[in-house]
Structure 1
Amino acid sequence: MNIRTFLLAALALCALLVAGCGAAGPTTGTVVFGVTSELRAGADIDLLRVVLRVDGHVVHEDALAQKNGQLFFPREFFFSDLEDGAAVEISLEAFGPEDTERPLLTRTASTRVIGGRTLLLRVRLERECVVAPGAATCPAPQTCVAGGCSAPDVDPRQLEPYTTSWNADAEPDLCKPAPGEEPVVLVGEGQADYFPLDDLDEVQVEAGPQGGYHIFVAIRLKNLRRSGSLTVVNGLVPELGYAIEPLEVIFTLDPDEGGFCKLAGLRFRLDGERKIEELLGKVVEIEVTVTDPDGDAGTGRRAVTLSQTIL
């Protein structure tokens, strides 16, 4: 073989080789675990423990609590800029408000990184996978999917590319079905349900189980997220120039009619710097602001008259 023939053969071989005789392909990639839930944050789930592993080693642990406003769905967990072929895994344990020792549900998912690609692995917490007390769980390393035990590993070649709108086709938020619409908050009363109020309507003052005196505030709202929304109740007694200490809570909203959601049983304590005898029969200006995890907020106001008696 002469030199010219040899060079031509070498060039032809280079054209066939993907990794040779040219620039190397991307060596790192990203996997995003997109977690959604059929269980409601704040109602069914009070705490979610998360463990992220790369090649079997723990790289991150977290406990996402409803009381801190950290627990909401959907949410994303990133494994960014890892070497091609790296094994990535997420382990989730969901705990109910009544038992922080025994998880209601456990879920594991894993895959591998493909260099040059950003992949999405969807993980759904399903009601079918809730474990009743004393019932058997899936034997390790299997995990529960659609009520049955399955291998947690997913072939990365079957995964879809990640986009920021990956959850757009997920189950819509009942309390915020059309993001971008103006939030609406209506202030009412009620311990177990929402009852509407007109300005200056009388509301019953009640004695609390641990001292103090309160009224039950309820709200009806729409265009704010059902889970993870912060509700702040403020009150002012204009006649006395008395600002009542605010109440701040994060509770999951309940669906209501007409595209609204509702939240009842907000125990708003009245006394503090003022004795309750000074407040009975007075007008209180109630203001409730709800801010959701997207940063959208709505405010409702109602002036109410405190009862002359204590229940």
Structure 2
Amino acid sequence: MTTQPDVISEAGADGAGPLPRATLGADSKGSVEQIALGLFIGVPFVALLAAIPAVWGWGMSWLDLGLMVFMYYLGCHGITIGFHRYFTHGSFKANRGLRVALAIMGSMAVEGPLVRWVADHRRHHRFSDAEGDPHSPWRYGETVPALMKGLWWAHMGWMFDEEQTPQHKYAPDLVKDPDLRRVSRQFVLWTMVSLMIPPLVGGLVTMTWWGAFSAFFWGSLVRVALLHHVTWSINSICHAMGKRPFKSRDKSGNVWWLAVLSCGESWHNLHHADPTSARHGVLRGQVDSSARIIRWFELLGWASDVRWPSSDRIAARRKEDHAKAA
């Protein structure tokens, strides 16, 4: 078995020498990666479809529910706080321990390697809902048929596109960090850890193979599928509908009914109006668990220079009609 070298032969933009290998794969997706991606998406989705009849059949134990909820929000906050607000947008600074922990937590959401995820999202913000955006639901036009096709593309179709975002162009800071590069390249390892924790706990607590299988079904497969589709809904639903009280150059909207499941990410209009803000739910009643946890990190001394939105900053981004109504 061969191992990948830690550098690639291409020179950097300044010709200074070889660049470190960013993550798994290259800037174009091969057939093996396409098949693997299909399995990572398809198998949990089948389990999600089977969840309702399964509840009526063998049921769900409190242990299964606890494992599913715990693993869901561990991975969800790894994505929202780590991959998104910290690594993509730099909403705060983190010490080394927190930085590595967030990278691992996000990887356990099974949404792809860290460097790949960040590169895609930074490209999305650069071209949001315009030519070059990797997953805009408005890709095919604004008619109803075009939007239906675009919603499918934004939700998951874009991930099967052979052309991928250049990682060295959009995430050079992560590529240069050996800790983050290592975690990104170990994506398969952290995926296996994420999938194996529930059945291991379930089997040890119940001391039965059935307990392990049930925990795997609910805490691994159903949990991953649910988190996948909630996350992807931010790309699709939150760019096609929702309220837009803030000024942004795209069609991002706030979708309240996704707020709890998305850990605050569905307050998407404010995010695109002020991408580096550590809090997305800035208006009264807007639940944002990710911002609350970042605040705890700050109080513990693990996070610093947090970019909290001031009242003046929020007011400056309000649309005039909403500001007058308030």
Same-fold call, TM cutoff 0.5: no
TM-score, length-scaled by structure 2: 0.23
Bigger RCO (CA 8 Å, 6+ sep): 2
Greater strand fraction, Structure 1 or Structure 2: 1
Greater helix fraction, Structure 1 or Structure 2: 2
Q: Which has the larger radius of gyration?
A: 1
TM-score, length-scaled by structure 1: 0.24
